[in-house]
Amino acid sequence: MIKPHGSDKLNPLYVMDEKERANLAKEAEKLPSIVVCSAAAANAVMLGAGYFNPLTGYMNVADSMSVAKDMKTTKGLFWPVPIVNVAKDVSAIKGAKKIALRDPNVQGNPILAIQEVEAIEEIKPDQMKFMTQAIFRTEDPKHPGVKAFTSVGNFAISGPIKVLSYSYFEKEFPETFRTAYQIREQMGKLGWNKVVAFQTRNPMHRAHEELCRMAYNDLKADGILIHMLLGKLKEGDIPADVRDACIRKMVELYFKPNTVLITGYGFDMLYAGPREAVLHAVFRQNTGCTHLIVGRDHAGVGDYYGPFDAQKIFEEIPKGALLIDTYMADNTAWSKKLGRVVMMRDAPDHTKDDFIMLSGTKVREMLGNGQAPPPEFSRPEVAKILIEYYQAIDKKK
């Protein structure tokens, strides 16, 4: 396993000691409070879990602008996207030095964290425009990440936090949600040193499965971390519980025992393409993984990014900025000629007709009609779970 990003030891911001946490929770009830946006809540969960090591809290405007411009804080820490707590209305916390942050995603808005307020700053329109363009490479409000980033307000509340809860993630995904320190611990018990991480917000088809296997074999890795996003997604994406069931079934039936860890993290998808790919690398380093699979259209959406932009950005970041390495992948698909899944770049003698390739729209249509995609595209056991999901949706309409 490799060292965390920016420090020798992981520094999770969750208050581990039960007595201290209970005392802080009591104190928090008396503090001025604010219901944070979902993105800020997810940032708190990631800070608490150690994924955003070595950050100690939310960035101020100067750090956010510096990160957007140069991918480093004003003190020189390499970081790809601003980690902020942005709100529309800060009247309830005006003048407060310490505040309670309430969870927008749990009924009753329980307290998620305590924050020391170093500054409350207004983000100017030109600053918001600059950050949006730098992070997402577009200001198009139809982009789901842009829409989320620009609609939550223009007041940045900066300062260190102490995290008291992991929001809904522990309760809703008890078998899957894991912190960075729990993953390190688990990999240590398994004796894994070289570990390749696979990022997903979707169920895994045959191509994804084989890509993990290729990376595992090529790198002579000790294990694979399948690490799925459990937070908010755009409309139309498959919910985390369905995806979780699909991945578990695939691993159970088609991977050797003790070669795969199935885990998830509590974050809202940014759809920020290249910048988000780098963030994925940062927090996989914090789990101890040595490699991250970066595929075609990694963390992208629509046509906002080139197919390999998320790979190119790793050539642009400063040498030594990260300890984690990348495993760069091309599109993978079943070759009719070879009778197996291959990376397209490794089959120069193939035409498109030599591969089994289906669009997402076509796959959804087939599943909704109760028809499983070809077994070369999707494992039948996985397709069965997805058919049940899509048919349940159709019944509700």
9 domain residue, yes or no: no
Of 108, 140, 170, the last residue of a domain is 170
- Burial of 268 (C-beta count, 10 Å sphere; 0-12/13-18/19+): buried
Q: How confident is the model at residue 283 (pLDDT cuts 50, 70, 90)?
A: very high
Angle, alpha carbons 52-137-293 (nearest 5°) = 50
Bridge partners, 325 (sequence order): 291
Q: Shortest CA distance to 371 belongs to which of 360, 386, 359?
A: 386
1 domain residue, yes or no: no
Q: Are residues 228 and 140 in the same domain?
A: no
Most confident of 85-89, 198-202, 304-308: 85-89
DSSP codes, 165-212: --TTHHHH-TTTB--HHHHHHHHHHHT--SEEEEEESS---HHHHHHH
Q: Are residues 147 and 215 in the same domain?
A: no
Of 144, 170, 196, the last residue of a domain is 170
Q: How confident is the model at residue 357 (pLDDT cuts 50, 70, 90)?
A: confident
Of 170, 202, 235, the last residue of a domain is 170
pLDDT above 90: residue 40: yes
Query: What is the pLDDT, as a whole number, of residue 362?
Result: 83
Which pair of tokens denotes residue 276?
């988000």
Q: Are residues 352 and 258 in the same domain?
A: yes
Residue 81 DSSP SS3? coil
Name residue 234's amino acid. Answer: K
5 domain residue, yes or no: no
Q: Which residues are tagged catalytic?
A: 201-202
Q: Are residues 36 and 144 in the same domain?
A: yes
pLDDT above 80: residue 30: yes
Query: What is the pLDDT, as a whole number, of residue 197?
Result: 98
Q: Are residues 80 and 97 in the same domain?
A: yes
4 domain residue, yes or no: no
- The tally of domains found in the chain comes to 2
Q: Are residues 155 and 217 in the same domain?
A: no
Q: Are residues 141 and 192 in the same domain?
A: no
Radius of gyration of the chain (CA): 21
pLDDT digits (tens, 9 = 90+) for 68-112: 999 999 999 999 999 999 999 999 999 999 999 999 999 999 999
CATH number of the domain that residue 141 is part of: 3.10.400.10
Q: What are phi and psi of 28, to 5 degrees?
A: -60, -35
Residue 72: partners with Cβ closer than 8 Å, 6 or more residues away: 66, 78, 79
Compute CA distances 273 → 278, 305, 347, 351, whole Å.
9, 7, 26, 28
pLDDT above 80: residue 342: yes
73 domain residue, yes or no: yes
Q: How confident is the model at residue 360 (pLDDT cuts 50, 70, 90)?
A: confident
Query: What is the pLDDT, as a whole number, of residue 333?
Result: 86
Residue pair 2/45 in contact (Cβ under 8 Å)? The answer is no
129 domain residue, yes or no: yes
Q: Are residues 191 and 164 in the same domain?
A: no
In this structure, the number of other CB atoms found within 10 A of the CB of residue 379 comes to: 22
pLDDT digits (tens, 9 = 90+) for 202-253: 888 898 999 999 999 999 999 999 999 999 887 778 888 999 999 999 999 9
Residue 105: partners with Cβ closer than 8 Å, 6 or more residues away: 38, 41, 167, 168
Query: What is the pLDDT, as a whole number, of residue 287?
Result: 98
Q: Are strands 119-122 and 260-265 parallel, antiparallel or unpaired?
A: unpaired
Q: How confident is the model at residue 393 (pLDDT cuts 50, 70, 90)?
A: confident
Which pair of tokens denotes residue 35?
């219901």
13 domain residue, yes or no: no
Q: How confident is the model at residue 48 (pLDDT cuts 50, 70, 90)?
A: very high
Which pair of tokens denotes residue 60?
């101020």
Compute CA distances 7 → 72, 91, 161, 326, whole Å.
15, 36, 18, 20
CA 160 to CA 141: how far, in whole Å?
31
11 domain residue, yes or no: no
Q: Are residues 201 and 163 in the same domain?
A: no
pLDDT digits (tens, 9 = 90+) for 119-160: 999 999 999 999 999 999 999 999 999 999 999 999 999 999
CA 101 to CA 248: how far, in whole Å?
34
Residue pair 277/306 in contact (Cβ under 8 Å)? The answer is no
Query: What is the pLDDT, as a whole number, of residue 353?
Result: 87
Q: What is the mean pLDDT of residues 316-324?
A: 94
Q: Are residues 268 and 141 in the same domain?
A: no
CA 63 to CA 65: how far, in whole Å?
5
Bridge partners, 177 (sequence order): 264
Residue pair 196/292 in contact (Cβ under 8 Å)? The answer is yes
CATH number of the domain that residue 305 is part of: 3.40.50.620
Q: How confident is the model at residue 364 (pLDDT cuts 50, 70, 90)?
A: confident
Between 336 and 59, residue with greater pLDDT: 59
Residue with tokens 């894991």: 178
pLDDT above 70: residue 397: no
Average pLDDT, the chain: 93
Q: Are residues 140 and 75 in the same domain?
A: yes
Between 14 and 367, residue with greater pLDDT: 14
Residue pair 362/329 in contact (Cβ under 8 Å)? The answer is no
Domain containing 91: what range? 18-170
Q: Are residues 338 and 197 in the same domain?
A: yes
Q: 81-95, 115-129, 280-294, 355-369: which range is least confident on average?
A: 355-369
